[in-house]
Every structure is written in C-alpha cells, then in structure tokens.
Amino acid sequence: MFKQKTLLILGLSVLLILTLAAAAAASTTGISGTVKDINTGTAISGATISDGTHSVTSDANGNYTLSEPSGSYTLHISKSGYLTTSQICTVGSGTVTVNWSLTKQYGTQTPPAYANKMQYAIFAWNDLGMHCDQDDYSYFSVLPPFNTLHVQVIKRPDLVTKGITVKYNFPKKTDSTLHTNFWQYAPQYGWNVPPNTGITGTKLSGTMQLDSNGLGYVATGIPITPYDDDGTWDPYGAANITVVDSNNKILQTASVVAPVSTEMDCKNCHGTTNPQLDILQKHDKYNGTTLAADQAKGIVHSCSECHSDNALGAPGKAGVESLSLAMHNFHKDKMTYTQAAANTTPSCYNCHPGPNTQCLRGIMERAGKTCTDCHGDMYGMTTSLQNGRQAWLQEPQCGQCHDSIHKENANTLYRNSVMNNAVYGDMNGKFYCESCHNSTHAEFTTANPADQTIPQKFQGDNYWIWNCKVCHQENYTQQNFHAAAGKSSD
C-alpha cells in the first residue's frame, strides 16, 4: 500500500510538473525573427536587436529571440557596416515575428562634381507610385487616364516658389489618342474634355501650378497611357521637368517617371474572350442591373455613378457600397476560382498592376513586405471598410511600424506630409516626405531603375535624398547632421 501511494504521489508530481511546464511554454511571450541583407538575402549574424531594456544578437543563421512580456515595443537593430533602423511591434500571447532586411551603410560619398556646381536642384515625384488606366472604355469606366506629378525646386539652400516657371512634357508620349478610346466615350461619363486633355483640364505637356500648400508645383490629372507613341508598352514613362526664370532661361532640368498601367487582370477570372462584357453580365446577374443591355444600345456607365469613389471625389448613391468595398467584399472569396488568379503573386496583382508592371517595388517590398502586411488581405480590407475606413483618405501609416522620427503629420497621409522633425528648425514644414523618399509603393531604393533618376542626378546614387549637399553648398555632412540630432542615420 505504501509503495502504491508513493507511486501515485510521484505520478501526480510528474503530471503537475509537465502541466506547469506546458502552461509556461504556452504563456511564453516574446519577439523572434531573422536578419538578412536586403540586397543579397543572406543571413546577417551579430546584429544587435534592442527594445531599450533588453538586447540580443542574431546567430549564425541570422535568427534571434528576445523574451519580453506582453506590451508594445520599439525595436532598434544595429550592425557594423549597416544602417541602424527600427520597427514597432506589439507582443500578445505567444511570440510575434519581426524580421529585418538591412541596408549597407552609406553616407560617406560626395555628390558628383557636376552636382556640387549646380545652383538649382529639383525634387520630382509621382504622388501614388502607380496609377491605373483602361485600354478600352466602350463597356464601362473604372478610372480615366490620370496621373499627377509634383516638383519642389531648391536654389541652394532655399526652397523657391516665386520668379520661376516649371514645365513638363513627355517626349515619348505626345498623343494618348493613339492608344485609348477614352475621349470617344468621355462625354457619356460626364467628362467633356478635348482629346489629350485630362478630366482636370491638364494636358500632356504644359506649365505646372503652385500647389495648395505653396510649397511646390503640381500637374494634376495628366492623361498619359502606358504606351509610347510608337506602341511600346511602357508603364514607367518619363516626363521631362524644366525650370526657367522670367527670361525663359533654363535654370535646371530633371527626368521623373509618371507610372501608369492598364494591367488590371480581370481576364484571370472573367475570361480572355471578352472580360468586360462578362463583368457587366455578372454584375447584372447578382445586382439586377441592365448594364450589358445598356452597353449593347451604346449606353455606357462609370462605376462611380453608383459606387462612391474618393479617388474621383464621386459621392455615388445612398445605400450602395463604395467602389473599394464592393470590389473587395464581392471578390474576397474568389481569388482561387481560376488557376490564373491563384498563380498570381501577390494575389493583389489580380486587380492592381500587376505581375508585369510590379507597382509594389519600393524599399518595403525589397525588405520582404507584401501588400497584406500593410493593408491586410481581402477579408481585412473588407472589414476595415465596413467599419468605416474611407478608401484613399485613410491609409496605412509609416508611423504604425516605424518610430516617431518617421511618422506622418497628424491626420495626414504620407503623400501629403512634410518634414517636421528636422535638426535645424528652418527646414520644418517645407519639404514633402515624398520629395526625399519618393512615392508610396516606390520608396527609395526601388527595384525599378526608372524611379531613380532624381537621386542619381543630384546625389550620384539611388538612395533616398540623404546627402545634405544636395541642397546645401556649405560644409554640411551626413555625419555632423545626425551628430547634431543625436540620431542614427536611418
């Protein structure tokens, strides 16, 4: 009997130990991930990851684990020869994964000799990183031909907004009517504009206007297509920017892409024979509309007639889902209905341009981030819109993942935000984030060389505008700039 009781107690003790161990394992919280070189993809060992209280180093395979209780943390990573950078993460139950892709250290180069002699510098960028367009408007209109360019001009070291004229033109894209029938159908969509004129009245070449903030120049709604005049498909067509003085003397020139693509791959699910007609027929089937019959009579409709669209400022109709919600909600469970759709990586490229265009090409993509890391998947997009998020007006923020140094202005999108944490206060409130970092989805350094003409010309590399001497001819250096700030050079 004594032996049986002893064995029973021992058995219960072992069970209790195993239970407590399992509970401890289940409640273990922390942060783990892998550190890689952004260019080569190889593992980086010896990188230090710190949350301000504890720190660890990555092992030979680039892996690390940092044990911390639940809470929010700002992580910093450093490694000799690489830029120091940061990420914000929230630890709940279990372990959260935070991976890193590090960029080799830069900041010791000097601009090309010719750049040092320039009196003027130009920052130029496209507002969104990619605009969508259609090849054919004879069935319906989702979006018209539309592209927007921004320019800021520096007369070293000052921002210039008076006494100059900023002109733009597209040497390879001078006649959009060669490749779209938009202007044939435009009046039916409510846009009575002449050929080669955008819905805002902007033409394929002209003079840029001072923007609403008085900080730079803008051309809104340029009606370019992804086709050159000779028919070459080029979604990264270049615009020439020319700055002249009151005597029409050229002060500076630059080249910048105005990305646009028609690669909305509806054919992946709606067939290759006539995907546009199939879309109308499916819409009629599920919504009781008569779009296909109207089209057969020569009557075409814009999606924004019924579906509100903040991209166009269209209010839509009461009780009808916004265009963004309708598209994501209806299609959220249909991305694997066809093999073509299932094979599209990332799946967002089924509608957003696209496997050939590859509009997601910026530093975030090169660091391994996907569309869903920022926007969520189709279900997440649907839920956020159903909960009241306004498409195009409320978007993911840099500050949600990076520290406060990199956050946008309060209640302002990245594309509209300006520098507000400069070491020297006279820089604050003047320079757009995109002027140095480039546009959304195409942040420097991008995977597409077409994006990199501005830093290449004025800085001599393809990084974001980090070199103080791009704007300053005095004895400014990246090192003393960040020394004054007490910040890392990220």
pLDDT in tens, 412-457: 999 999 998 877 777 889 999 999 999 999 999 999 999 999 999 9
Only one residue has tokens 């693509």, namely 261
Give the number of residues written for the chain.
490
- What's the CA gap between 128 and 147, in Å, rounded? 9
Nearest one of 443, 462, 454 to 367, comparing CA atoms: 443
pLDDT in tens, 302-329: 999 999 999 999 999 999 999 999 999 9
Residues 146, 72 share a domain: no
Residues 316, 257 share a domain: yes
pLDDT at position 29 is 79
Three-state secondary-structure class, residue 33: strand
- What's the CA gap between 90 and 55, in Å, rounded? 16
Asked if residue 147 belongs to a domain, the reply is yes
pLDDT in tens, 115-142: 878 899 999 999 999 999 999 999 999 9
pLDDT at position 4 is 47
182, 262 contact by CB (below 8 A): no
Residues 57, 118 share a domain: no
CB atoms within 10 A of CB 312: 19
Question: Looking at 65, 81, 102, which one is the last position of a domain?
Answer: 102
Residues 241, 120 share a domain: yes
Question: Domain total for the chain?
Answer: 2
Residue/partner pairs of 425-434 with CB below 8 Å, 24 or more apart: 430/159, 430/215, 431/123, 431/152, 431/159, 431/215, 432/123, 432/150, 432/152, 432/215, 432/216, 433/398, 433/408, 434/125, 434/127, 434/150
User: What average pLDDT does this structure show over 214-243?
Assistant: 98
User: Is the pLDDT confidence value at 67 over 50?
Assistant: yes
Percent of the chain with pLDDT over 90: 80
The strand pair at 206-207 and 250-257 is best described as: unpaired
pLDDT in tens, 205-223: 999 999 999 999 999 999 9
Residues 454, 371 share a domain: yes
- Residue 449 structural domain: 111-265+300-471
- What's the CA gap between 106 and 109, in Å, rounded? 7
pLDDT at position 475 is 55
Lowest mean pLDDT among 155-159, 200-204, 240-244: 155-159
Asked if residue 294 belongs to a domain, the reply is no
Asked if residue 353 belongs to a domain, the reply is yes
User: Is the pLDDT confidence value at 464 over 80?
Assistant: yes
pLDDT at position 220 is 98
Most confident of 398-402, 472-476, 479-483: 398-402
Percent of the chain with pLDDT over 70: 90
pLDDT at position 489 is 37
Asked if residue 451 belongs to a domain, the reply is yes
**Mean model confidence pLDDT for the chain:** 90
Asked if residue 22 belongs to a domain, the reply is no
Asked if residue 397 belongs to a domain, the reply is yes
Question: Looking at 102, 126, 157, which one is the last position of a domain?
Answer: 102
Residue 294 neighbours by CB under 8 Å, 6+ apart: 300, 301
Query: Is the Cα torsion angle 8, 9, 11, 12 positive or negative in sign?
Result: positive
Question: Looking at 68, 102, 136, which one is the last position of a domain?
Answer: 102
The residues with which 34 forms a beta bridge, in sequence order, are: 63
Residues 96, 145 share a domain: no
User: Is the pLDDT confidence value at 154 over 90?
Assistant: yes
Asked if residue 12 belongs to a domain, the reply is no
pLDDT at position 23 is 41
pLDDT at position 406 is 84
Which pLDDT band holds residue 474 (cuts at 50, 70, 90)?
Answer: low
pLDDT in tens, 75-90: 999 999 999 999 999 9
Only one residue has tokens 């073509």, namely 340
- What's the CA gap between 363 and 258, in Å, rounded? 18
Nearest one of 382, 432, 379 to 408, comparing CA atoms: 432
User: What average pLDDT does this structure show over 12-31?
Assistant: 50
The strand pair at 149-155 and 217-219 is best described as: antiparallel
Concatenating the DSSP letter of every residue in 220-264 gives ------SB-TTS-B-TT-EEEEEEEETT--EEEEEEEE--EE---
CB atoms within 10 A of CB 483: 12
pLDDT at position 106 is 79
Three-state secondary-structure class, residue 50: strand
Which pLDDT band holds residue 476 (cuts at 50, 70, 90)?
Answer: low
Residues 237, 142 share a domain: yes
| DSSP collapsed to 3 states, 427-469 | HCCCCEHHHHHCCCCCCCCCCCHHHHHHHHHHCCCCCCCCCHH
- What's the CA gap between 5 and 68, in Å, rounded? 41
- What's the CA gap between 210 and 196, in Å, rounded? 22
pLDDT at position 114 is 82
Residues 138, 71 share a domain: no
Residues 173, 225 share a domain: yes
Residue 55: CATH number of its domain = 2.60.40.1120
Asked if residue 4 belongs to a domain, the reply is no
Only one residue has tokens 């942040």, namely 443
Residues 214, 71 share a domain: no
pLDDT at position 3 is 46
Residues 428, 367 share a domain: yes
Concatenating the DSSP letter of every residue in 285-333 gives HHH---HHHHHHTT--EEGGGTS-BTTTTB---TTSPPHHHHHHHHHTT
- What's the CA gap between 282 and 330, in Å, rounded? 11
pLDDT at position 16 is 40
* 479 or 120, greater pLDDT: 120
Three-state secondary-structure class, residue 201: coil
Residues 156, 42 share a domain: no
136, 267 contact by CB (below 8 A): no
Q: pTM for the full model?
A: 0.89
